[in-house]
Structure 1
């Protein structure tokens, strides 16, 4: 967790602590109030006993007739309904067992009510805090993604343009007939393709109906070869070997050629981006019983464990942003969206070195 995340969570932790303290104080106060009310009720009964003893008959009277009259007066006066005569000589009164039980029952019900209210208040407060924290966290994440997207897009647009400008200035000085000029032209073509890929990703993201595909049967081997040829100048300029292994026979799938090639470009572009100069990007195409299986593997730093579940999310860049790598966070999302629309799957496969993305497309059952 970075310092910004810790700082963002601190106010919520303080609010949670204050809420718990407030609820605990309120519960303690109500418990004490309930105990005080119970003591007051007991004191009321004791006062009532004294009043009954002095207002109905003297406590020293102990004849049977006087005792009978006293008991009758207790029953007749409703204010003394909670009192009864004591056993033994003399006439004295005491609270009934039912009166004490009623006081204890009332106190118990009061405590249960306060406890239930405290639990309900705590749940409501915590739910509100969780919802508020989630909203703030989502807003913060969206803001960071927006900033990252703008920074990545700016970088991805400016870098090819700067390379093109440098190449044109060089060609202006050396002409176009030398080997050096042809090398610059190849680099410029690669940068144009890179710029086009980013624009295509942006347009694909903004499309109103991204799944409106024109599916036709075609050879995936030839589609992949065209993509490899597009990236060959860029790979050569960085000294990266672009290794391709495909079947000798056609691999027929139903696909929208333009959309699928864009998905393939994103995978190859991602592999080249993270491969070190002089590295190797391996592209292999095989078939199983029902699928064409394409794997794009690089020898770069790989994908961090915390990034793995999120690499296909739109605008997500993860460690790429921290490492200063370019990108908009759209390429892998566009690839997955496109492959899914073709009825296929794409996933990050385990790899000892670098990253390996595996794409599966259903083989065509006809040639129309």
Structure 2
């Protein structure tokens, strides 16, 4: 075990306290590691500070030098296991029962700290190993997905060549190619070797968000083609407003596309047959806004405060509609990384309205 700075500071503080209260003139705290059924001790802290106290431990096979007048050696025991040793010495007097009890209290404190330190290190090592296994699994999965994805793109390209431009199926083939390209970009990003703590594993996008001017109309156009095909299969209606006014926001194109895909997917998923899904572009003096609304089942008021928490599905967890509770959380995180906001308004039985607000590109900011 490699002691942390916190554990070392605690041990040093305990020795200083023993010196002030019991008159200890020399002392040391050791941590124990089992080596072939015999403990091996490593100095953790010494008093006076900065002076090695290894001389307090026995040498060779004998322990006779450890126990003598004026010196107390108290084992650090946790759950009947030796985790260390506290040695304290003074030469002017022997130890009273009360003083020995104080040494025992200090030893118990240090034993608990050593045991917690060891368990924390074991847990961190186990978490790191689990994370490595998960990333190795994902790397293998991403690699195995590349071949069928390449085949899908090839088949779609061949199919597009056989269709006339005026063929009604041409936009569908174009949509397949666009989504296949999107998947390929995600796979390339996911295959990058990096070891991130769980808190940073928000999405397959880079942690550093590069934002550039993005024409909202150009970005949503291919999404609308996919959405139109989706609503037709679900028996819904798609309405679009605001495309006549150019809106250029400061954003990451890949991230914004993922946000809007999540919002459109939710709108379609939670709107019953005969309902309407709407996308609306608008601006304020400083921000561009993209709103996705629906006439779906709506969200209970008590679920709204936790709506952007990961894995939270609220009332929908009891429904037959499949979901992971990740889409809105990822969308919310991505919008924040781009310097914007994602807000929601909803009424049960009437539908929901999600608004992405992003800063306008500098050249398009209007005077207030």
Q: Which has the higher contact order (CA 8 A, sep 6+)?
A: 1
> Structure 1 length as normaliser, TM-score?
0.45
Normalized per residue, which structure has more strand? 2
Normalized per residue, which structure has more helix? 1
